[in-house]
Structure 1
Amino acid sequence: MSDELSIYVDADACPVKSEVYRVAERYGLKVYVVANDIMSVPRDQPNVELVVVSDRFDAADDWIAERAGASAIVVTSDIPLASRCVKAGAYVLAPNGRVFSSDSIGMSLAVRNLMQDLRAGGETLGGPAPFSKKDRSAFLSALDLAANRVRRRLPK
């Protein structure tokens, strides 16, 4: 962990990486794009770093969670990872702009576990709604707000 405001992206299935790059460039923030395999990141943005971890289950989650803290914004749709990062003091956003907080993460985990149990029991459930332009816009607004809030709470 450092005192420098950084954005950690759980990148393997993240639909808003380009939005993260835009906001990070605007604020001069460091971005760590964490994935299990090589992927493309902007070459013209030195503040964006690809971190390729092993293909071990949860390797990307572990890398991010170990670095999450008060100076971190974490972008993930993985609720167990979100929980770990919230507990570490990070500001955590889902790609649809939803903020995971200490007040909401318990319910999010409970719903996730219930749905997982129902699927394991043979229930046929629909998946999440398709990602929309509205989700992308909500994420951009939430990330901009997160960057400002985290910057204010860091020591000068």
Structure 2
Amino acid sequence: MQVLVDADACPVVVKEMLYRAAQRLEVCVTLVANKFLRTPPSRFIRALQVPAGFDAADDRIVELVIHGDLVITADIPLAAAALEKGAYVLDPRGSWFSRENIQERLTMRDVMEQLRSSGIDTGGPAPYAAQDSKAFAGQLDRFLARHVSP
């Protein structure tokens, strides 16, 4: 089992939690981004820089992910593709994507995109807050306790 991170928009606090988990549990964490990422020196942590381009990082994650991996992303189409490959998908705010909720989330994303393209200001996500970090940490810890042997 490996952890793949859609790192371009991933909050720093989430990356730091993942770095600590990688070291503590000796699990491979791979961050994929369009830009250079500085990561701590570790045999369990690597960063992959992909060429700039629409969905280049997402496409690379889909290529790498296998059944049972954990993907960290807020990107709904990427989450859907990872679920199709049998991965677990957690967003940086601590919510799980699942086969049961992905279609609803894709539909809502499409509706919001249509509203924005017609000129309606839909706002954006709330700023990342301490409760998001806490929720993510709790979900990550529970997942790793169940899926990674010490």
> 2:136 is paired with a residue of what secondary structure?
helix
Aligned equivalents of 1:65, 1:149: Cα separation in 2: 23
- Alpha carbon RMSD of aligned pairs, Å? 1.3
Write out aligned runs for 1:72-91 (5 A): 72-91=69-88
Q: 1:59 — aligned with what? A: 56
Write out aligned runs for 1:10-89 (5 A): 10-15=6-11, 16-43=14-41, 45-89=42-86
Aligned equivalents of 2:73, 2:116: Cα separation in 1: 22
CA contact (8 A) 1:79 1:109 kept: yes
Aligned equivalents of 1:58, 1:77: Cα separation in 2: 13
Write out aligned runs for 1:90-129 (5 A): 90-129=87-126
Q: 1:8 — aligned with what? A: 4
CA contact (8 A) 1:10 1:33 kept: yes
Percent of aligned positions that are identical:
41
Amino acid across the alignment from 1:9 = V
> 1:32 is paired with a residue of what secondary structure?
strand
Deviations 1:87-125 (A, max 9, x none): 111010000010001001111111111100000011111
Shift of the alpha carbon at 1:148?
3.1
TM-score (norm 1): 0.89
